[in-house]
Amino acid sequence: MLQNAARRALEYGRGFLSQGVLVDYIPELAKADPGRLGLCVFTNDGQKAVCGDVDRRFTIQSISKVISLATALQCEGFDKVFSKVMMEPSGDAFNSILKLDLASNRPYNPMINAGAIEVVSMLTPLFSFEQMLEYARVLCLDGDIVLDEAVYESETLTGDRNRAIAYLLRSKGVLEGDAMKTIDLYFRLCAMSVNARSLAGLGLVIANGGVDPDSGRRLLDERVVRVVKTMMLTCGMYDGSGEFAVRVGIPAKSGVGGGIMACVENRMGIGTYGPALDDRGNSIGGRKALEFLSRELHLHIFDSQSE
Amino acid sequence: MLQNAARRALEYGRGFLSQGVLVDYIPELAKADPGRLGLCVFTNDGQKAVCGDVDRRFTIQSISKVISLATALQCEGFDKVFSKVMMEPSGDAFNSILKLDLASNRPYNPMINAGAIEVVSMLTPLFSFEQMLEYARVLCLDGDIVLDEAVYESETLTGDRNRAIAYLLRSKGVLEGDAMKTIDLYFRLCAMSVNARSLAGLGLVIANGGVDPDSGRRLLDERVVRVVKTMMLTCGMYDGSGEFAVRVGIPAKSGVGGGIMACVENRMGIGTYGPALDDRGNSIGGRKALEFLSRELHLHIFDSQSE
Amino acid sequence: MLQNAARRALEYGRGFLSQGVLVDYIPELAKADPGRLGLCVFTNDGQKAVCGDVDRRFTIQSISKVISLATALQCEGFDKVFSKVMMEPSGDAFNSILKLDLASNRPYNPMINAGAIEVVSMLTPLFSFEQMLEYARVLCLDGDIVLDEAVYESETLTGDRNRAIAYLLRSKGVLEGDAMKTIDLYFRLCAMSVNARSLAGLGLVIANGGVDPDSGRRLLDERVVRVVKTMMLTCGMYDGSGEFAVRVGIPAKSGVGGGIMACVENRMGIGTYGPALDDRGNSIGGRKALEFLSRELHLHIFDSQSE
Amino acid sequence: MLQNAARRALEYGRGFLSQGVLVDYIPELAKADPGRLGLCVFTNDGQKAVCGDVDRRFTIQSISKVISLATALQCEGFDKVFSKVMMEPSGDAFNSILKLDLASNRPYNPMINAGAIEVVSMLTPLFSFEQMLEYARVLCLDGDIVLDEAVYESETLTGDRNRAIAYLLRSKGVLEGDAMKTIDLYFRLCAMSVNARSLAGLGLVIANGGVDPDSGRRLLDERVVRVVKTMMLTCGMYDGSGEFAVRVGIPAKSGVGGGIMACVENRMGIGTYGPALDDRGNSIGGRKALEFLSRELHLHIFDSQSE
């Protein structure tokens, strides 16, 4: 039944692909095939549903913000992290610097670029990229994640706005350490190559309170996971987060590489891949497939028929 | 046990009262006693816990935005309402007009003043204030709610910013009808006189999917309630909504009159009263009492020990 | 020679008319003929050059801001006026409220709507519209100025943004008195019906330090005129003021009715009429004619060949 | 008589020094003595008036923006320069990035940091710092200008906001070439060490239409100088430019190092030094001395008694 619902969700999502467009500001990403769509669901009790392009690799992009935040919370603690970044939805685009300059020295939340760069600046003195990569493999239950060198190069060439954000954070005294090293780690984390399965794996660990249900191994503290899930719910889908919370009601994080990672509390992790994006930068096929699945399986946090 | 937890939550909240201040821009509200605090919990299965100032009446203020939104969704439907107002957290103060002028003609969400005024403009041709008042009594399970004439007068005298917002909405073509009539209904709805019990009643109906658990009577459609709860979670606590979602994780709506109305999915409605406000305009005692209660009773939406 | 230069300036300006558009937000103004262009020059030593549509009447619109400011400075004094409004170019559109809300309670300058409405609020308790109209006739050396009732009605119907600005100013405590009465006077002043001759007359009085050179009668104090001229130079051409100062270098004020009033220090007053507007809201034909005239007759304040 | 007026202007300015403060964001500048004040006037007909601290050297800071703009206009031409930067007063602080992000890709004008950095980026491929320094010596009629190494180091250490601006300009495609090289040249130009005499020299050349009146040598084209003077008048005194134009009415450019350079059309160049700054970042003593001098000698562009 899960596999059947997944298949129908994929079909539903596919109907919207023609309304999406490829990201254009990172040339390497503009080469993707906008017709692709994949959906992968892993449940707490061991079921797996996969359909469509679930093996194709793409770069994780902003979904890495979840990994960075979880790592920083795990290593530096709640209070230190949130002394440097706030927890508020910003209502602005992911790469906005408006609020940073007008309203607050601290970035609004760790899911927008400014906040994520700040979080990565806390990780830079602690971990090499290789260590972060290894940790990503563990959290995603996927040992095959690698750096996509071509996308990394492409981001490096076109990443001036992120460099501007890093220097702005430094000028405000919230980013300590070297701005260029921080940005390099940030670009590398964005260029990790995952597939829909990796994202379903990550979603499952988070849905399950930080424990891999297969091995029973705890990978993240329960409190860290709770914070991450809440931030995903309020801020995870760029400036479409509020509408996604209303219509879908599942904590999720999207990336401009075309991925969405979602987690249904105590039930399942979901990964989708579809590089055609809507006007907020979210995968349009993935978003619509999740909307279908939420309605069909009663996954909305406030669906009274949800388990 | 519930009564005991409520009492301890009240004590915990009381410890923060001295950090709060009374609202100052509506003179009549500045007369409240900042030392007051009350907490009232109604559960789905009929338990009631009350402690502190639960009978004292105060004006509902922004919590009326929940009633307006629910009424508009019920009468005009999801699509019409959200063609006039968005569903996104704004990251700005409740009375901000920045985004309205810069980013979008539609207000960002129905929980900020601009959005709520837009919603009330849809109700103005449909209902008199007396009809809305009667409906509020039904939803709050409290037949004694009346208009606080003194606060209504005070808001009328000091409400120029809300008039500016109404005319700005009219100039953008989203507010139709008479700006002054809309604002008058908006001020009256804000000046309805409730107590912590009324708010717990409203919270219970919403927590219970729109049905009064005592009478079994359906007061709101399940879908309407789901939207309302999601908007409360992402936008209900002014520009402290994100942090409240992380720390407390219960859909809630506050008002500058000192009230907070909260609803724990399928479990309970909570009303608090404490006119001393934090720097975001939320009752500091009420907020802290809710934080205590959430931790103690595992009420956070992502608390894995929640029922 | 002056008449010849004026004729060539008119021809030059006419070449740009097809690039302009009529204002659209006041329906009555959208009825104008975009092919019209008129130019009128009055010199200190009694020369007059007129060509094109110099007798056709149109509404003065924002050029009335100069009359309001001069009157307020004359009656209330420099210090009082500039305690309510600043003297800084805003860099924003004429009807912007951004700075008003973000940066300062006082409007940035008396040439944008917010500043002019504030200035008119100082005049409201002092003068009836009829008195202001009479004063405008005197300053423009034109006894035939009347209220254009149709445009006044049209502004009243579409003026919600200006009402929003008035209430916003009231909410900040800078606009005292009745917002609606102020706005009504503001709309009436904008709807005064002038022609290019009236504007040349006003320009001449200002260019001549406040004295009507024909009669020798002093109409405005020299100090008032100096402030007015400076504000025209830095803020008179909407958000094209800086470029106009560079390219033309003459204090000028435009209105969306199609008029421009300009004054060349100690030399001449110029009035133009051309309802086709550029993308900043300035008469495109009038602006180009002035640019031609400035170059030809060395009228730029920093033209070393100017007299 | 000129010397006498200058002395009295200096005394007048000195009375305001205690209201000023030293700049704090560049540590090396915070070491200046806030009690210093110097005034130097050079007239077209060879008079010189000097009083106070006219020999003490300080860094030119933002006054270098005039030299950069003049050089770029001279070498690249009006059209190319203003295809990359606008000519509008911004109404924002000198280091604002708000408008750059909200309103336009091009910086608002060449007198704010963003605009000046853009202008310097056009010079970077053309000239070494040493060549620019040599040119500055020529324009200021002062062969002794050198790089203040300590201030240059200090700016380099604290210049992250300017780096952010450079990368933001690059991300918008208006700054071409290397951001870091551009910023390095920008910092060096700001750290050129001048005195009040150098500024009076520069002011004299500009007041005199680009010709050194002593030698009769043309240093800048007349058209370049006209543009520069107009930009100084509308944008030269940071966000106090409008008020300075009203009260003083002389094209001027200030720097946070404490200098002001001013030029009275066809009459004189003026340099002042006083490191105590007002709340807009302008030398308070220098500004007040200029206000006195303008009143006393009728230097205001719209003073009808001016020659």
Render pLDDT for B136-194 as a digit per residue (tens, 0 to 9). Answer: 999 999 999 999 999 999 999 999 999 999 999 999 999 999 999 999 999 999 999 99
Average pLDDT across chain C, whole number? 95
Give the integer Cα–Cα distance in Å for C139 and C133. 10
Model confidence at D101, pLDDT cuts 50, 70, 90, reads low
Q: What pLDDT, on the 0 to 100 scale, is given for residue A92? A: 74
Percent of chain A with pLDDT over 70: 97
C168–B179 CB contact, under 8 Å: no
Asked if the model's pLDDT at residue A307 lies above 60, the reply is: no
Q: What pLDDT, on the 0 to 100 scale, is given for residue D105? A: 83
Averaged pLDDT, C210-221 = 96
Q: Any catalytic annotation for residue D108? A: no
D164–A161 CB contact, under 8 Å: no
Q: Any catalytic annotation for residue B104? A: no
Q: What pLDDT, on the 0 to 100 scale, is given for residue A173? A: 92
Q: What pLDDT, on the 0 to 100 scale, is given for residue B91? A: 76
Percent of chain C with pLDDT over 70: 97
Which pLDDT tens digit goes with each residue over D31-67?
A: 999 999 999 999 999 999 999 999 999 999 999 999 9
Structure tokens at C138: 């005197």
Averaged pLDDT, D222-237 = 97
Give the integer Cα–Cα distance in Å for A229 and A261. 11
Q: Do residues A242 and A225 lie in contact, with contact meaning Cβ atoms separated by under 8 Å?
A: no
Q: Any catalytic annotation for residue A238? A: yes
Model confidence at C95, pLDDT cuts 50, 70, 90, reads confident
Q: How many CB pairs under 8 A join A and D?
A: 49
Averaged pLDDT, C204-213 = 97
Asked if the model's pLDDT at residue B101 lies above 70, the reply is: no
Give the integer Cα–Cα distance in Å for B31 and D285. 48
Which pLDDT tens digit goes with each residue over C179-206?
A: 999 999 999 999 999 999 999 999 999 9
Nearest CA in chain B to A237: B88
Burial of D251 (0-12, 13-18, 19+ CB in 10 A): buried
Neighbours of A29 (CB within 10 A): 24
Average pLDDT across chain D, whole number? 95
- Signed CA dihedral, C276, C279, C282, C286: sign only: negative
Give the integer Cα–Cα distance in Å for C187 and C153. 9
Which pLDDT tens digit goes with each residue over A248-293?
A: 999 999 999 999 999 999 999 999 999 999 999 999 999 999 999 9
Asked if the model's pLDDT at residue D187 lies above 70, the reply is: yes
Q: How far is A239 from chain B (nearest CA, A)?
A: 7
Which pLDDT tens digit goes with each residue over B243-283?
A: 999 999 999 999 999 999 999 999 999 999 999 999 999 99
Percent of chain B with pLDDT over 70: 97
Averaged pLDDT, D225-249 = 97
Structure tokens at C209: 């330090």
Asked if the model's pLDDT at residue A127 lies above 90, the reply is: yes
Predicted TM-score (pTM) of the model is 0.95
Shortest CB distance from D163 goes to which of A101, A161, A167?
A167
Which pLDDT tens digit goes with each residue over A78-120?
A: 999 999 999 999 877 777 766 666 667 899 999 999 999 999 9
Average pLDDT across chain A, whole number? 95
Q: Tell me the residue ranges of DSSP E strands in chain B.
A: 38-43, 48-52, 58-59, 146-147, 192-194, 252-254, 259-264, 268-273
Averaged pLDDT, A145-163 = 95
ipTM: 0.96
Asked if the model's pLDDT at residue C93 lies above 80, the reply is: no
Residues 6+ apart with CB under 8 A from D4: none
Chain D residues close to C231, C-beta within 8 Å: 242, 246
Q: How far is D66 from chain A (nearest CA, A)?
A: 26
Strand partners, B254: B260
Strand partners, B268: B43, B264
Model confidence at C302, pLDDT cuts 50, 70, 90, reads very high
Residues 6+ apart with CB under 8 A from A8: A292, A296
Nearest CA in chain D to A179: D160
C164–B160 CB contact, under 8 Å: no
Q: How far is B185 from chain C (nearest CA, A)?
A: 18
Chain C residues close to D88, C-beta within 8 Å: 89, 91, 239-243
Q: What pLDDT, on the 0 to 100 scale, is given for residue A38? A: 98
Local structure of C58: helix, strand or coil: strand
Q: What pLDDT, on the 0 to 100 scale, is given for residue B92? A: 75
Nearest CA in chain A to B226: A302
Catalytic residue chosen out of the listed positions D66, D186, D194, D241: D186
Q: What pLDDT, on the 0 to 100 scale, is given for residue A50? A: 97
Q: Any catalytic annotation for residue A304? A: no
Asked if the model's pLDDT at residue B306 lies above 70, the reply is: no
Shortest CB distance from C97 goes to which of B97, B163, B166?
B97
Of A116, A115, A119, the C-alpha closest to A106 is A115
Asked if the model's pLDDT at residue D198 lies above 80, the reply is: yes
Of B63, B67, B36, the C-alpha closest to B52 is B36
Which pLDDT tens digit goes with each residue over B209-234?
A: 999 999 999 999 999 999 999 999 99
DSSP C253: E
Chain D residues close to A96, C-beta within 8 Å: 101
Which pLDDT tens digit goes with each residue over C115-146?
A: 999 999 999 999 999 999 999 999 999 999 99
Give the integer Cα–Cα distance in Å for D152 and D162. 14
Burial of A39 (0-12, 13-18, 19+ CB in 10 A): buried
Q: How far is D283 from chain A (nearest CA, A)?
A: 24
Q: Any catalytic annotation for residue A25? A: no
Phi, psi at B91, each rounded to 5°: 70, 0
